């Protein structure tokens, strides 16, 4: 069963999603829309069985959504969860066939029981049973064989069937260090399903199922088609353009459906051992027909070359050219890339020692760990890791200057960007240093934190504008780097002892004297 929550109050939505035991309630997937427009988009793609919606939202009414659902004759149960006990709302909701009308705040136990009761009234159709069965087979791990046997016994999976082909998609975020959260995952899953259904539908290739395996992996199963070999490369390009350029696709051999577990296991073993080359697509058959061999990368030579190079960027470019040749292969072992990463880190420590640099002064541990983990996703990720490492080392190679000079550079940057984001993390990125090290240098040289210094400079700029211009206070707040007017006013009063308007009035009086 799929349930969608439509509410523009993020706190309410997060509380519901995180607190309820959805599996126990009978819900296999929860989707979220923060406005009516987004809800309609999802409803046009996903089969939704239960809708949980607010009424008054910033971008449209839940009653309008309910009316649209009924006009479209979508077969779903609807529950209203509203802050308003207006009779007119409840009356209209009843006219539109709402199953339950609950008032906020609602106890989570009561909400769970209501959803469970509504779910129990929804008849299970064959298509839903089949989709649930595929989820259990493809994600069931130890129980997969049991679910497959059950599917055959119920004749949902016939013993004699057309041949199938299984795809495994690995889709990484567009940005190298982008962190996924639950809501982004749902949007991504929604987009992937939309792209796959449209792509295969346009080519007349029957799409049997789509199952999300984890935050970066999806299975798709299609009925065997002679055009799939050319279609898969077109599909890869389509995903790159629509979703993310960082996509890898593994393709199984064709199989009768009752043998799905055997061929799934074979494909997963290949996915664990090998990475596709630049084409981004790897068929199981290719690995069975080839023995991949590659000599060890010339690390000693690269280390020797580093001594004669004017900058570390040249060394990074040399290493990336070598990796591009590797990426030109149809595929290569994951272990090879893991070993490359190990030797790369060894080289970085040698270079740090050679240039008298300290690791913790340049790299933040959390960010470094993120890049390190992602580096073996693909050759492109490894090249991104190299760029990040060597750019930071190059920018710090001559940084044996006095700490006071670094602090002056930070102050100069702050003075030129008072209206921008001036968090310690942002400043550390600009300086190509670790966040902790930048903070320690500044406190040591100036006797105050970066955040305190930024606040003081912004307040001094605001004072100057209040004294010398007739600009509205709200505009002065923006110029001073404050997008929250209330916070600006409070900070200004704490700093000067006056509100912005009081300060301006006093300044005008002083001029008249």
Distance CA 466, CA 460 (A): 10
What DSSP string runs through 188-222? HHHHHHHHHHHHHHHTT--EEEEEE-SSSEEEEEE
- Phi, psi for 391 (deg, rounded to 5): -65, -45
Question: How many CB atoms are located within 10 Å of the residue 11 CB?
Answer: 8
Of the pLDDT bands very low, low, confident and very high (cuts 50, 70, 90), residue 146 is confident
Beta strand extents in 123-180 (DSSP E only): 163-171
Distance CA 174, CA 384 (A): 12
Alpha-carbon distances, residue 33 vs 38, 57, 94, 108 (angstroms): 6, 11, 22, 20
* Segment 76-103 mean pLDDT: 76
Distance CA 167, CA 248 (A): 10
245-263 pLDDT, tens digit per residue, is 889 999 999 888 888 899 9
Q: Which of 23-32, 184-193, 259-268, 282-291 has the lowest mean pLDDT?
A: 184-193
296: which DSSP letter?
Answer: P
459-490 pLDDT, tens digit per residue, is 999 999 998 888 888 889 888 888 888 888 99
Of the pLDDT bands very low, low, confident and very high (cuts 50, 70, 90), residue 226 is low
What DSSP string runs through 332-363? EEHHHHHHHHHHHHHHHHHHHHHTT--HHHH-
* Segment 311-317 mean pLDDT: 89
- Provide CB contacts within 8 A for 394, sequence distance 6+: 311, 312, 313
Place of tokens 């199953």: 99
Distance CA 192, CA 201 (A): 14
In total, the chain counts a number of residues equal to: 513
Distance CA 457, CA 170 (A): 47
Of the pLDDT bands very low, low, confident and very high (cuts 50, 70, 90), residue 182 is very low
More confident residue, 1 or 256: 256
- The token pair at 82 is 């509203």
More confident residue, 126 or 431: 431
Q: For residue 161, what pLDDT is reported?
A: 63
438-454 pLDDT, tens digit per residue, is 888 888 788 888 889 99
* Segment 334-357 mean pLDDT: 89
* Segment 331-357 mean pLDDT: 89
382-391 pLDDT, tens digit per residue, is 999 999 999 8
pLDDT > 90 in the chain, percent: 20
Distance CA 438, CA 141 (A): 47
């Amino acid at each position: 069963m799929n349930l969608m929550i439509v509410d523009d109050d993020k706190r309410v939505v997060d509380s519901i999603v995180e607190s309820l035991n959805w599996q126990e309630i009978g819900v296999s997937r929860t989707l979220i829309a923060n406005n009516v427009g987004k809800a309609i988009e999802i409803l046009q793609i996903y089969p939704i069985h239960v809708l949980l919606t607010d009424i008054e939202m910033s971008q449209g009414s839940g009653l309008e959504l309910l009316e649209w659902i009924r006009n479209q004759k979508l077969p779903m149960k609807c529950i209203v969860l509203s802050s308003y006990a207006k009779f007119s709302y409840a009356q209209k909701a009843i006219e539109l066939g709402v199953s339950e009308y609950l008032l906020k705040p609602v106890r989570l136990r009561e909400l769970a029981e209501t959803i469970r009761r509504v779910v129990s009234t929804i008849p299970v159709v064959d298509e839903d049973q089949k989709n649930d069965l595929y989820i259990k087979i493809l994600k069931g791990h130890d129980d997969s064989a049991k679910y497959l046997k059950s599917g055959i016994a119920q004749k949902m999976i016939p013993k004699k069937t057309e041949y199938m082909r299984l795809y495994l998609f690995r889709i990484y975020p567009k940005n190298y260090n982008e962190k996924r959260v639950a809501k982004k995952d749902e949007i991504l899953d929604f987009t992937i399903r939309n792209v796959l259904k449209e792509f295969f539908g346009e080519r007349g290739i029957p799409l049997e199922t789509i199952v999300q395996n984890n935050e970066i992996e999806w299975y798709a199963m299609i009925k065997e088609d002679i055009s799939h070999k050319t279609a898969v490369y077109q599909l890869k390009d389509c995903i790159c353009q629509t979703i993310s350029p960082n996509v890898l696709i593994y393709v199984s051999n064709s199989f009768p459906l009752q043998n799905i577990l055997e061929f799934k296991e074979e494909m997963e073993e290949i996915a664990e051992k090998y990475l596709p080359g630049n084409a981004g697509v790897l068929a199981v058959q290719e690995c069975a027909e080839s023995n991949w061999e590659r000599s060890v990368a010339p690390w000693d030579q690269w280390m020797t070359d580093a001594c004669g190079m004017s900058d570390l960027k040249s060394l990074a470019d040399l290493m990336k050219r070598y990796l591009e040749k590797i990426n030109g292969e149809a595929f290569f072992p994951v272990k090879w890339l893991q070993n490359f990463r190990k030797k790369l880190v060894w080289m970085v420590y040698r270079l740090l020692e050679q240039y008298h640099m300290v690791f913790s002064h340049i790299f933040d541990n959390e960010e470094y760990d993120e890049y390190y983990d992602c580096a073996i996703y693909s050759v492109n990720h490894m090249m991104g890791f190299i760029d990040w490492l060597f750019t930071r080392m190059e920018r710090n190679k001559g940084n044996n200057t006095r700490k006071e000079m670094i602090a002056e550079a930070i102050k100069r940057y702050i003075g030129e960007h008072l209206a921008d984001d001036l968090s310690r993390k942002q400043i550390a990125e600009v300086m190509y240093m670790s966040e902790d090290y930048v903070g320690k240098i500044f406190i040591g040289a100036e006797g105050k934190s970066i955040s305190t210094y930024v606040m003081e400079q912004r307040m001094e700029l605001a004072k100057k504008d209040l004294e010398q211009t007739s600009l509205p206070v709200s505009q002065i707040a923006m110029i001073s780097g404050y997008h929250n007017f209330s916070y600006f006013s409070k900070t200004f009063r704490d700093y000067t002892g006056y509100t912005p308007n009081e300060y301006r009035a006093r300044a005008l009086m002083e001029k008249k004297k």
